[in-house]
Amino acid sequence: MKLYLDRVPSPIGAILLVSDGEALRALDFEDYEPRMQRLLRNYCGRYDLTQGVRSGARQHIAGYFDGDLTALDTIPVQTGGTEFQRRVWAALRQIPPGSTTSYGRLAAKIGAPKASRAVGLANGANPVAIVVPCHRVIGADSSLTGYGGGLPRKAWLLRHEANACAGRSAA
């Protein structure tokens, strides 16, 4: 499989975008590139990764960081994964910007109320961070829990969205 890698600057570090030319296959942070490579092998099998922009995701990502929280909504993604993982990831895309949910509430939403641990594992295996907003899932006690890009980035993303939402409602 031929994949294309683009590096995009962001306020929370360089972001790696991997596309197949039609859909985004991975989004991760430059300092987590080995994790991204592992997820790509799991979900895509063998692949050839070439430097080059092959998606419009770069502009959408820039828009998101500029405060347009809906900029990510139309980015097509192709994640691979199990049927359960894809259900979790689809549910993640339904969490509105500026909102959070818990693993238990997300499990109930997908019809598997006793599967909060499995939801957590699927959340952690999300290959398309930010676009599939796994950062919006927090602990049942409202604490920040794991994030593949690190808890400081998760906290930043949640603050960014809260601030952008507050700015919209004040307008």
Q: How high is the mean pLDDT of the chain? A: 92
Provide the pLDDT for residue 52.
80
The verdict on residue 72 lying in a domain is no
Residue tagged active-site, from 134, 137, 157, 158: 134
In terms of Cα–Cα distance, which of 112, 101, 97 is closest to 158?
A: 97
* Position 83 pLDDT exceeds 50: yes
Is 48 inside a domain boundary? yes
Give the percent of the chain with pLDDT over 90: 81
Q: Which residues contact 41 (CB under 8 A, 6 or more apart)?
A: 47
| 95 and 160 both lie in a single domain | yes
Angle between helices 83-92 and 116-124 (to 10 degrees): 80
Q: Are residues 54 and 99 in the same domain?
A: no
Number of domains within the chain: 2
Residue 136: C-alpha distances to residues 15, 145, 146, 147, 151 (Å): 18, 10, 11, 10, 12
Q: Return the CATH number at 110.
A: 1.10.10.10
CATH number for the domain including 43? 3.30.160.70
Residue 166 burial class via C-beta count within 10 angstroms: exposed 0-12, middle 13-18, buried 19 and up: exposed
59 plus 87 within the same structural domain = no
For residue 55, pLDDT beyond 50: yes
76 within a domain of the structure (yes/no): no
C-beta atoms surrounding 121 within 10 Å: 14
| Active site (annotated) includes residue 165 | no
**105 and 29 housed in the same domain:** no
The verdict on residue 74 lying in a domain is: no
Name the residue range of residue 132's domain.
83-170
The per-residue pLDDT for 170 is: 45
**Residue 88 or 170, more confident:** 88
Question: 15-35, pLDDT tens digit by residue?
Answer: 999 999 899 999 999 999 999
